[in-house]
Amino acid sequence: MSIVAIVGRPNVGKSTLFNRLIQRREAITDAVSGVTRDRHYGKSDWNGKDFSIIDTGGYVLGSDDVFEAEIDHQVELAIDEADVILFMVDAEDGITGMDEDVANLLRKVKKPVVLAVNKVDNPEREANAVEFYNLGLGDFFTLSSTSGSGTGDLLDKIVELLPDTPVREDSDLPRFAVVGRPNAGKSSFINALIGEDRYIVTDIAGTTRDSIDTKYNRFGFEFNLVDTAGIRRKKKVKEDLEFYSVMRSVRAIEHADVCILILDATRGFDGQVQNIFWLAERNRKGIVVLVNKWDLVDKETNTAKEFEAQIRREMEPFTDVPIVFISVLNKQRIFKAIETAVDVFKNRAKRIKTSELNEVMLPIIEHYPPPSLKGKFVKIKFVTQLPTPQPQFAFFCNLPQYVRDPYKRYLENQLRKNFDFNGVPVSVYMRKK
């Protein structure tokens, strides 16, 4: 999936436009807060093309503010990773010195740049917008991110510039992406698998830019193992390892079937790991959590049980995820981790017959029907699994609008209890009968 980065100085309306784009249709994934101030990741689509959006912080060249300096580095990384760059300026303020700083940076980039003049909400500002030709970036689009006017033409241009999704080799093979924060043991995990297993076939170029897919055969199951560690040279990463780990994970997650999320036991399920976890969940991918460096933790009788319980509290409400405690250094349970990932992939691809679904779920619903709302009683009469790559179920009833989220979660939990969707996000939809 392609990436669009929104850049510009502070207070030009980047976040407002970002929020509008990710809410363009009901099925859009919610934005996921990132690791630093004003950092957001989301998904959108236009004219049948899906793409990710990064809302960067405001770019302030040469600022003495430590926070702003870090944001500047991260904007540069976002530009480096993006396929299309959306440069936003403010019609109300006109061209400022900071705008010129950003334009100077973008003129050196060999990537498509779309100039968007925001806050154009009257004819006078429309006429005055011609001054932005002076930035030397060619034609521009005028819009109002608050009202949404002009965003359609802007999106038409963006999707026109997005690269076509490449056809990937071995497209029928499942893809397992190894993701996590820096120094959690991703590379060591991959190396331990490759170094010990003689069934390795070959390394092939993947669709995740600059990543490596290792075709792997174990347990009688063949798949591509995607390494997100070490994708870039270290001099490119600078001190922004945290942000860049999310950048790499965005692409890897979107092209994966199962995400193997490795965390450092000495650091726990912290905010950075949670961001990556929720990126995978919102992309409806299978998830396996590996707690690495378990050999470094001082243990008592219930240490593992308490550690796992803490992780599941942070995962709520999606807690039906396998957690495996490993030590890559000592090669403890690393193959158990892969075996678990294979099981999760099978769960994600699971198809349940409609007759079996109704035989199991309708008595459960009859025993505990949806609560009445405004004196209305909901009667669910039929359930079927939708023909999608991940488990999605449609429950047909007389008043779908009266079924609230708590009851949908109840239905999801019953599906998990009876059909085993461990490690896989499950979607429940109510439909009019």
Tens-place pLDDT, residues 370-395: 988 878 888 999 999 999 888 999 99
Could you tell me if 155 and 45 are in contact, meaning their C-beta atoms sit under 8 angstroms apart? no
275 in a known ligand binding site: no
> Which positions ≥6 away from 132 have C-beta within 8 Å?
89, 95, 115, 117, 140
Q: Could you tell me the pLDDT band of residue 232, with boundaries at 50, 70 and 90?
A: very low
Could you tell me if 96 and 9 are in contact, meaning their C-beta atoms sit under 8 angstroms apart? yes
Structure confidence at residue 104 (pLDDT):
86
58 in a known ligand binding site: yes
pTM of the complete model beyond 0.85: no
Structure confidence at residue 218 (pLDDT):
67
Q: Could you tell me the pLDDT band of residue 236, with boundaries at 50, 70 and 90?
A: very low
Q: Could you tell me the pLDDT band of residue 66, with boundaries at 50, 70 and 90?
A: very low
417 in a known ligand binding site: no
> Which positions ≥6 away from 370 have C-beta within 8 Å?
378, 380, 397, 402, 403, 404, 407
| CATH architecture assignment, domain 354-432 | 2-Layer Sandwich (3.30)
12 in a known ligand binding site: yes
185 in a known ligand binding site: yes
152 in a known ligand binding site: no
182 in a known ligand binding site: yes
Structure confidence at residue 429 (pLDDT):
93
Q: Where are the domains of the chain?
A: 2-161, 175-349, 354-432
129 in a known ligand binding site: no
292 in a known ligand binding site: yes
Buried b (16+ CB within 10 A) or exposed e, 125-163: beeebeebeebebeebbbbbbeeeebbeebbeebbeebe
Give the residue-averaged pLDDT of 102-130: 88
Token pair for 66 = 């430590």
Rounded distance, CA 53 to CA 6, Å? Answer: 7
229 in a known ligand binding site: yes
Give Rg (Cα) of the chain.
Answer: 24
Are the folds of 2-161 and 175-349 the same? Answer: yes
Written as one letter, the residue type at 302 is: N
228 in a known ligand binding site: yes
Parallel/antiparallel/unpaired status of strands 392-397 and 380-385: antiparallel
Rounded distance, CA 399 to CA 418, Å? Answer: 25
214 in a known ligand binding site: no
Parallel/antiparallel/unpaired status of strands 203-205 and 212-218: antiparallel
Q: Report pLDDT digits (tens) over 124-140.
A: 888 889 999 999 889 99
55 in a known ligand binding site: yes
Position with higher pLDDT, 424 vs 209: 424
The helix/strand/coil state of 350 is coil
Which residue matches tokens 């009851």?
407
57 in a known ligand binding site: yes
* Residues in the chain, total: 433
CATH of 2-161, one of 3.40.640.10, 3.40.50.300, 3.20.20.100, 3.90.1150.10: 3.40.50.300
343 in a known ligand binding site: no
Q: Report pLDDT digits (tens) over 79-107.
A: 777 889 999 999 988 998 888 888 888 88
Give the residue-averaged pLDDT of 215-236: 63
227 in a known ligand binding site: yes
Structure confidence at residue 286 (pLDDT):
95
2 in a known ligand binding site: no
Sheet with 203-205, strands from edge to edge, namely 203-205, 212-218, 221-227, 175-179, 258-264, 286-292, 323-325
121 in a known ligand binding site: yes
How many Cβ atoms are within 10 Å of 375's Cβ, its own excluded? 5
Measured between its terminal Cα atoms, the distance across the chain in Å is 35
Does residue 150 register a pLDDT over 80?
A: yes
336 in a known ligand binding site: no
- Please return the burial class of 61, using the count of CB atoms within 10 Å of its CB with bins 0-12, 13-18 and 19+: middle
Q: Which of 72-86, 186-200, 255-269 has the highest mean pLDDT?
A: 255-269
> Distance of alpha carbon 239 from its chain centroid, rounded?
23
375 in a known ligand binding site: no
CATH class for the domain made up of 175-349:
alpha beta
> Which positions ≥6 away from 47 have C-beta within 8 Å?
155, 156, 159
13 in a known ligand binding site: yes
Structure confidence at residue 204 (pLDDT):
40
Give the residue-averaged pLDDT of 348-363: 94
- Please return the burial class of 369, using the count of CB atoms within 10 Å of its CB with bins 0-12, 13-18 and 19+: middle
80 in a known ligand binding site: no
83 in a known ligand binding site: no
Q: Could you tell me the pLDDT band of residue 231, with boundaries at 50, 70 and 90?
A: very low
Does residue 359 register a pLDDT over 60?
A: yes
Rounded distance, CA 271 to CA 240, Å? Answer: 16
